[in-house]
Chain A
Amino acid sequence: MTSSPNVSQPNRKVMIRLENLTKRFPGQKQNAVDNLTLDIYEGEIVVLVGPSGCGKTTTMKTINRIIEPTSGRIILDGEDVTTANPDTLRRRIGYVIQQVGLFPHQTIGENIATVPKLLGWDSKRVTARVDELLDMVNMSPADYRDRYPKQLSGGQRQRVGVARALGADPDVMLMDEPFGAIDPITRDRLQNEFLRLQSEVRKTIVFVTHDIDEAIKMGDRIVILQEASRIAQYDTPERILTAPANQFVADFIGKGASLKRLNLSRVSDIELSSWPTVRVGADSAQVLDQLRSSGRDSVLVLDDAGRPRRWVGAGDLQSSPSGALEEIGVPVEGMVEPTATLSDALNELIAARNSVTIVVDPAGVYRGVVDINQINETIRAMRSTSAAQNAADLAERSTAGSASERP
């Protein structure tokens, strides 16, 4: 098999290690998880992804021993917890499931306080923590603390579920399709919020999904699993998209891997092109001058604050020679900010005039444009980088020979 079971990362701490983990459910002939060995590094989101029935959820649930493994070992932060007291173990691990599972008879505050209370925190500390967590998930403590789950929307409940899992500030979080039952728009927002939150809290997260797009978006690393939780590939999203380890991975990613790759780069990662611009106060001579020197057929009119307003071409000047630049041409549409992905930029580009996407900073000030050639180059660059990495890996493996990979 061409899988790369573990990405060696000598400088980082292994937070979760699964060793030869096997699970066979009673009465079944096949192992649900078959001899899985996996290292998960501190502070990373590792996404377990695979077709339904591949054992990804079972694998995740062995980590907090909601499902007890048949054999193998679970090592958490250097400590073998395979036979530890499961209740104490679980209080150290945040747990979020798709159905959220909020306690309907308890208020939001009481729900979030669950683990701190189990750990015997005093009530002042618990109250302070509850408010802090509600703030973290963008819910005002005063408004939501005393409400009941039935009074919240699905998205809000999921936020509370995340806050509850973070209750006692666990090092590790397990998330089983946490955004699976939420409408696409809210899901996108929750995913972004969660990534922002994770950039602050830096938890080690095991995230299960069947959706490769979600895996690419959320994962620092992705484990693609085949049946019986056999690892088909364990790698970064970039590497999985550009260098699938085998046919199974390629099939699982499906068509459009190049398009998916565009989700991995942001507009801020590439050098923007420039476009001829004029200020709203400029006269037609200046416009024509810009058009001639740039060879483009329209200029971008910026307002006094530098915000793009209209596209104006030579034809527009002729048809209304006396018109102010603010009133002729066509208004600009579909601008993106530097934090947008190249996929967002491409999406705007397809619909845009002049086949470019205008990039503005958060204040709306013009920064530059993205055109199709830049997107094209980015994809090509990614492909060659990962090809180079693959070559380097191969070379390293052949020279390393039988030397042990880790201390």
Chain B
Amino acid sequence: MNFFEFLVNRSDDMLELGLGHAAVVGVSVLLATVIGVSLGIATYRKPRPREAVLAVTGAFLTIPSFALFILLIGPLGLGTMPVVVALTMYGLLPIVRNTITGLREVDPAIVESASGMGMSRSQQLLRIELPLAWPVIITGVRVTSLVLLGIAAIGSIVLGPGYGEMIFTGLARVGTPVAVNLVLAGTLGIIILAILSDVLFYVIRRLTTSQGIR
């Protein structure tokens, strides 16, 4: 059975695993975005908290994913939960960093004129600073999505959903003809999801960025 026949044969599996993979990464990206942007907003004007947040979220990325998934079994058990938590932790850095960079790059003269016209602090943030930082922030979210699509595969060691299942099954059957097909199919699925995610973020970025700053 060649690889193509294998894919046709397993197309139901491919689709189901793909949806699971996309869902677990999607939820994690969403959580990481909410937490990361909030942390960025809370700290971008204060040097010490800012450095601390960047250091901590950076440190998360240095924990080997294998180890983190296994460590989370204790508190969270098996399945989707530990995967979502671990992925959210891994996804924070690019989003926090880009939020901080984006907000800090807004021209101070623009913020001064906003405040000089009587915009409250939250109006400045919502109407001026965040829209101007948005292209940078959304780029961070895009990077996070790509990173998490890859890491999510490892989540199958704690019985998380997604293409990791195929890859680990293949790993267990090394030496048999089907092993290579399984690993290839899992990898291909992730690559396709990565391409789709890139297209999605390109479209979102175009639609949500003002013409004036494109």
Whether A and B are associated in the same complex: the answer reads: yes
Binding site for B on A (CB under 8 A): 64, 66, 86-91, 95, 97-107, 114-115, 118, 148-150, 161, 164-165, 167, 174
Interface contact B112-A105, CB-CB below 8 Å: no
Chain B, residues 110-125, CB within 8 Å of chain A (1/0): the string is 1111111111100100
B113 touches which of A87, A89, A101, A107 (Cβ 8 Å): A101
Q: Is B212 at the interface (CB under 8 A from chain A)? A: yes
Chain B, residues 93-120, CB within 8 Å of chain A (1/0): the string is 0000000000000010111111111111
Number of A-B contacts defined by CB within 8 Å? 74
Interface contact B117-A90, CB-CB below 8 Å: yes
Chain A residues closer than 8 Å to B81, beta-carbon distance: none
A66 touches which of B112, B131, B211 (Cβ 8 Å): B112
Interface contact B107-A101, CB-CB below 8 Å: yes
A162 vs B127: C-alpha distance in the bound complex, in angstroms? 21
Interface contact B118-A66, CB-CB below 8 Å: no
Interface contact A91-B112, CB-CB below 8 Å: no
- Smallest CB gap from B123: residue in A: A118
- Smallest CB gap from B128: residue in A: A103
Q: Is B210 at the interface (CB under 8 A from chain A)? A: yes
Interface contact A148-B212, CB-CB below 8 Å: yes
Chain A residues closer than 8 Å to B212, beta-carbon distance: 104-107, 148-150
Chain B, residues 124-139, CB within 8 Å of chain A (1/0): the string is 0000100110000000
Interface contact A103-B110, CB-CB below 8 Å: yes
By size class, the interface of chain B is 20 to 34
Interface contact A89-B112, CB-CB below 8 Å: no
Q: Is B172 at the interface (CB under 8 A from chain A)? A: no
A99/B117 contact (C-beta < 8 A), A105-B210, A107-B212 known: no
Interface contact A104-B119, CB-CB below 8 Å: no
Interface contact A66-B107, CB-CB below 8 Å: no
CB distance from A32 to the nearest CB of B (A): 17
Interface contact A91-B117, CB-CB below 8 Å: yes
Interface contact A87-B120, CB-CB below 8 Å: yes
Provide the main secondary structure of the chain A interface. mixed
Binding site for A on B (CB under 8 A): 107, 109-120, 123, 128, 131-132, 210-213
- Smallest CB gap from B120: residue in A: A87
B117 touches which of A95, A98, A107, A149 (Cβ 8 Å): A95
Interface contact A104-B132, CB-CB below 8 Å: yes
CB distance from B118 to the nearest CB of A (A): 4
A174 vs B112: C-alpha distance in the bound complex, in angstroms? 13
CB distance from A250 to the nearest CB of B (A): 35
Chain B residues closer than 8 Å to A148, beta-carbon distance: 210-212
Chain B residues closer than 8 Å to A149, beta-carbon distance: 212
A101/B118 contact (C-beta < 8 A), A148-B211, A148-B212 known: no
30 A-B pairs within 8 Å (CB atoms) are namely A90-B115, A90-B118, A95-B116, A98-B109, A99-B107, A99-B109, A100-B113, A101-B112, A101-B113, A101-B114, A102-B113, A103-B110, A103-B114, A103-B128, A103-B132, A104-B210, A105-B132, A105-B210, A105-B213, A106-B212, A115-B117, A115-B118, A118-B117, A118-B123, A149-B212, A150-B212, A164-B117, A165-B117, A167-B117, A174-B116
Taking A95-B117, A105-B131, A167-B117 as given, write out 16 further A-B residue pairs in contact, using a Cβ cutoff of 8 Å, ordered by the A residue number.
A66-B112, A91-B117, A91-B118, A98-B109, A99-B107, A101-B109, A101-B112, A101-B114, A103-B128, A104-B110, A104-B132, A105-B212, A118-B117, A118-B118, A150-B213, A174-B116
Chain A residues closer than 8 Å to B109, beta-carbon distance: 97-101
CB distance from B206 to the nearest CB of A (A): 14
CB distance from A309 to the nearest CB of B (A): 52
A87/B112 contact (C-beta < 8 A), A104-B212, A105-B132, A148-B212 known: no
B116 touches which of A88, A97, A104 (Cβ 8 Å): A97
A104/B118 contact (C-beta < 8 A), A66-B112, A99-B107 known: no
A64 vs B119: C-alpha distance in the bound complex, in angstroms? 13
Interface contact B114-A89, CB-CB below 8 Å: no
